[in-house]
Amino acid sequence: MIGIIFGSFVPMLLLGVPIAFCLVLMTVFVYVDIGDPRLFLQIPQRMFSSTENLLLLAIPFFIMAGEIMNRAGITDKLMTLAGSLVGWIRGGLAHTNIVASMFFAGITGSAVSDTVAVGGIMIPAMKENGYSEEYSAAVTAASSVIGPIIPPSIPMLVYASVMNVSIAGLFLAGMLPGILVAIALMMTAYIIAVRKGYGERAPFVGVLRLLLAVVHGIPALLLPALIMGGILGGFFSPTQASAVAVMYGLAVGFLFYRSLKLSDIVPILRHTVRATAMIMFLMACAKTFSWLVSYYNLVEHVTLLFVTLTANKYVFLLLVNVLFLIIGMFLDMGFAIIVLGPLLAPIAYQYGVDPIHFGLITCTNLTIGLASPPFGLVLFAACGISNVSLARLSWAILPFIAAEIVVLLLITYVPFFTMFFPRLFGYA
């Protein structure tokens, strides 16, 4: 089987064949090698069964809620609020960029969406105020990593559905790590601002303007509170919470901000369908690969490999971090979760790692990979917005990636930061 994987999957991937098709075709080649024609009939059955999980209904609803809030023009409101809070610090626009990404993370749950929404406003503003264009793009790309960590999070939904882990527990686990990432990025931005003379220290905007910014931003910021409060309070399930988020977004857009139009509904639905179809089709195709994992006892083989390498839990977690960071630079995040999660999670459980803790480690690793050179998807989005070359952006983002890796190691080896809220609410 290993020969078939490297002989078919890797060449197709290098030729640019979409990952979903690579998985299905590779499975077909393995079935041919086995020689049982009845197996081919099981491909559509497994693909269809992978989409029957009720939790997956939350994915299109959360995508739609984020798109609604984005179209409603809440980005400007969150920018104003973020600027009022941290704009007075040296390098203020960089800090505003980071805090705005943290606010936006509670709405979209997607790193690429955060990059496009926040970067479209902040990158030109930073360039006009004397920040280099590669630094502006680097701050935007690095801060968008917070998106899939702070709830709601699309990657966490995928992980929870694949690994049968509590989505509420994962959402709670991401709260402190998301804040830690934001703090680490702000510290890095401050050091760079001092060294390069970016952004002279501005005066505090005043209590009145800050309160006004809070009033305008509260409707948007209440969305993540509504989601988590409803789930933890037992008022609705995660899937129902996603539908409530859509209704709340429509109410805010049409009634409060009054910036959403009926003509926006079709583009919102189009974006939702396209993004959902990509995720669901990838999961369906990956389901065919999961059969190969069980058929060839790959979990047992991988477990034996790791046990041979080390019996130490901390060394194992270090190896997992390195593996996920490398994979996150090259492969789709959903693919990595769907394929590697079932392989590595059972081993982590044997080492005594909590399922929620390992899920957060996995999602954080792969999220950092989205912004890591050379092929992180967020990097290409930032390059498209800023017109900065990939090489220049890659060099500029390295200090921020280093800061995020420090936080990653902290949440890996100090479970308190990940497990505090899940334990507090009884999910660990």
Encode pLDDT of 148-204 as tens digits: 888 878 888 888 888 889 888 999 999 999 999 999 999 999 999 888 887 666 667
**Identity (one letter) of the amino acid at 49?**
S
Write down the mean pLDDT value for the chain.
80
Least confident interval from 179-183, 329-333, 337-341:
329-333
CA distance 68 to 268: 7
**Of 336 and 243, the one with more pLDDT:** 243
Q: Confidence class of residue 40 from pLDDT cuts 50, 70 and 90? A: low
Q: Which residues contact 183 (CB under 8 A, 6 or more apart)?
A: none
Q: With contact defined as beta carbons under 8 Å apart, do 288 and 24 qualify?
A: yes
CA distance 394 to 137: 10
pLDDT score of 260: 84
Q: What angle do CA 59, 60, 64 make, to 5 degrees?
A: 120
CA distance 63 to 9: 30
Q: With contact defined as beta carbons under 8 Å apart, do 103 and 82 qualify?
A: yes
pLDDT above 90 (res 311): no
Q: To the nearest whole percent, how much of the chain has pLDDT over 90?
A: 14
Handedness of CA 99, 364, 401, 147 (dihedral sign): negative
pLDDT above 90 (res 251): no
pLDDT in tens, 190-201: 999 888 887 666
Q: What angle do CA 356, 357, 361 make, to 5 degrees?
A: 115
Closest CA to 68 of 101, 102, 115, 117: 117
Distance of CA 398 to the CA centre of its chain: 19
